[in-house]
Amino acid sequence: MTNSALNVPAFAVPGRHSVVVRQAPVLTLVLALVALWYLAAVLMNFGLVRDAFEREEVPYTTGDVMLGTLQAERPLLPAPHQILRTFADGVFGYSPTSARSLVYHSTVTLSATVLGFILGAMLGCVLATLIVHSRTLQKSLLPWIICSQMVPILAVAPIVIVVLGAIGIRGLLPKSIISAYLCFFPVAIGMVKGLRSPDPIQGDLMRTWSATPSQIFCKLRWPSAVPFLFTSLKVAVTISLIGAIVGELPTGAQAGIGARLLAGSYYGQTIQIWAALLAASLLAAALVGMVTLTERWVGRRMGVRP
Amino acid sequence: MPLCEHRTASDVAALARPSGRLRAVSPMHQPANPTTDHRILSSGRPLVADVRDLSLTFETADGKVEALAGINLQIAEGEFVSFIGPSGCGKTTLLRLIADLEQPTSGMLQINGVSAGEARLRRAYGYVFQAPALYPWRTVEKNVMLPLEIMGFSEAERRERARRYLALVNLSGFERKFPWQLSGGMQQRASIARALSFDPALLLMDEPFGALDEIVRDHLNEQLLGLWDKTGKTVIFVTHSIPEAVFLSTRIIVMSPRPGRIIDVIECDFPRERTLEFRETPEFVRIAQRVRMGLRSGHSYDE
């Protein structure tokens, strides 16, 4: 009996193929999407480019127009290679402190995101803790928490920025507050569920040892809620990025991905908008990736079954 | 069988009737033997549990459910008492009342001379549930150390005790394993080590081996009996297995459902050291027979 449990059976991983074979379905899909994108770019920009040829009164063929649709300066839909070129240019072409550098703008947005995420996650955890410990608070807080998310953030954001600006708080903090306002919600809801997830027997055990409420929280409720916490944090971190970007829009901020998007739309710089969007999505992917890595690390320490 | 045939319905009724003190009913008809006479037992050794006219009625959406009615029971130090009965007879509820995990509707309940709530606060007992209920994020060692952490033992003391009690339940070498890496029987042994870790004088066990297969169960029964013999703890044990109850107990409390009540009390004065082969002896079979008759007279087999 004792030996069988020590030898944890090593299950063979079925179907180990080369990287290429394994990634083939994903690659095919990506290629198909890129092809569709090019097709859409040609179709959408066709009229624009043809009109330009007409205006300049130069002779042109359909081939010229089609080629033009993929090289236009301000197309309706930029082609992927244009976006990538502008993106690469924005990332590597300028010093990271330059206002033209995407790295600079991403850093500005990222710092607001991270601060907002930390504030929001903490707020969510505190609210959830209060809710699971008091019926009164559950009844009084929960409706407001849900209501807070029904207000469109685009309406709230300018108010927050203006009010905080009036009392002298500018820059990073107002954006972080908007971001926190959005991202505390999934954390609060997830953690209420998580803190209530312990098995009744596990709670009875604590009672038989006459544990204090704080011991029950630290040694039972909190560890039980950790899987719920990470699921909520993954949702929260992407939302907090959106919050930070939205927070950059109403002020006409000088820096940040939001500012970049706004500037792009003022001047019809569609390629610049798309490059900024690409930066934002890469940022979001990196943030979720970091939460996932933390989750794995914590999971290993907490004996999660691999 | 002949032992039980002469028992009448009025005998059973007399046993079930609430009374200040339970009469000792010796199946062997050996009232001269001082170790089986309950009055001498309880006067010679302090009472661990004193239950008088205890009742519990649950209020449910479908109306009142009488879980326990008129329970009278005295358990002295060093006894191994089993509650046996069909599902729904309130045996687990009675154990939970003793542990202050439920509150009685009426009646008196004292543990070590104080109320059940006070006894719980004094950490008078270790409780083993039917499921191991190990905390999955803690290693086996840290699970055993958990009650010690809560009770404020020093780090060195915690390690030392975890080592000692894991050795006692034959789990040395598994300290760093997580619960899922252990078999069901090993998990339950770890949970027993956890209940023993702070050395409570009273052990409450709620069908601890109910979910295990018979081979593991037999083995653990033997280990538990050895442990009880070695440590001299008082054990209150809930089961629905007749052989298990007869093999382990110094006294068997037979219960019947709707409402949960005690219908028979059987003293077993078997030698303290016994092996599994003991279950083939005539004395064993006789007691088992009596338990079965008790359960039958309580209409446990009706359904």
| Distance of alpha carbon A252 from alpha carbon A249, whole angstroms | 6
Number of structural domains in chain A: 2
pLDDT digits (tens, 9 = 90+) for A248-283: 887 666 788 888 888 888 888 889 899 999 999 999
Q: Would you state the pLDDT for residue B72?
A: 87
The pLDDT assigned to A11 comes to 52
User: Domain residues for A24?
Assistant: 20-77
Are residue A66 and residue A106 in the same domain, yes or no? no
**pTM of the model as a whole:** 0.77
pLDDT in tens, B133-163: 999 999 999 999 999 999 988 999 999 999 9
The domains of chain B are located at 2-124+200-297, 135-199
Fold that domain B2-124+200-297 belongs to in CATH = Rossmann fold (3.40.50)
Cβ separation of B183 and A205 shorter than 8 Å?
no
% helix / strand / coil in chain B, to the nearest 5?
40, 25, 35
Structural domain contains residue A11 = no
Tell me which long-range contacts B212-220 makes (C-beta under 8 A, separation of at least 24).
B212/B184, B212/B185, B212/B188, B216/A1, B216/B184, B216/B185, B217/B241, B217/B244, B218/B276, B219/B185, B220/B185, B220/B188, B220/B189
* Model confidence band, residue A49 (pLDDT cutoffs 50, 70, 90): confident
Distance between CA B234 and CA B224 in Å, rounded?
12
Which of A2, A5, A208 is the closest to B127 by Cβ?
A208
Residues A114 and A232 in one domain: yes
B85 contact A CB<8A: no
| CB contact B178 to A (< 8 Å) | yes
Task: Please report the DSSP string for B35-90 in residue order.
Answer: TT-HHHHHHHS-EEEEEEEEEEEEEETTEEEEEEEEEEEEEETT-EEEEE--TTSS
Within-domain flag for A93: no
Question: How far is the alpha carbon of B179 from chain A, nearest alpha carbon, in Å?
Answer: 9
- The reply to whether A72 and A108 lie within a common domain is no
Backbone angles phi, psi at B275, to 5 degrees: -110, 175
Name residues of chain B where pLDDT drops below 70.
1-44, 298-303
Tell me whether B212 touches chain A (CB under 8 Å). Answer: no
In chain A, residues 146-165 whose CB comes closer than 8 Å to chain B: none
Is A153 part of a structural domain of the chain?
yes
Q: Is A8 on the interface with B (CB under 8 A)?
A: yes
> Predicted confidence band at A239 (pLDDT cuts at 50, 70, 90)?
very high
B132 touches chain A (CB under 8 A): no
- Residues A53 and A133 both lie in one domain: no
Going by pLDDT thresholds of 50, 70 and 90, the confidence category of residue A99 is: confident
Q: In a mutagenesis test of the A interface, which of B129, B137, B139 is the best target, namely the one with the most A β-carbons within 10 Å?
A: B137
**Interatomic CA distance for residues B63 and B143, integer angstroms:** 40
Residue A24 covered by a domain? yes
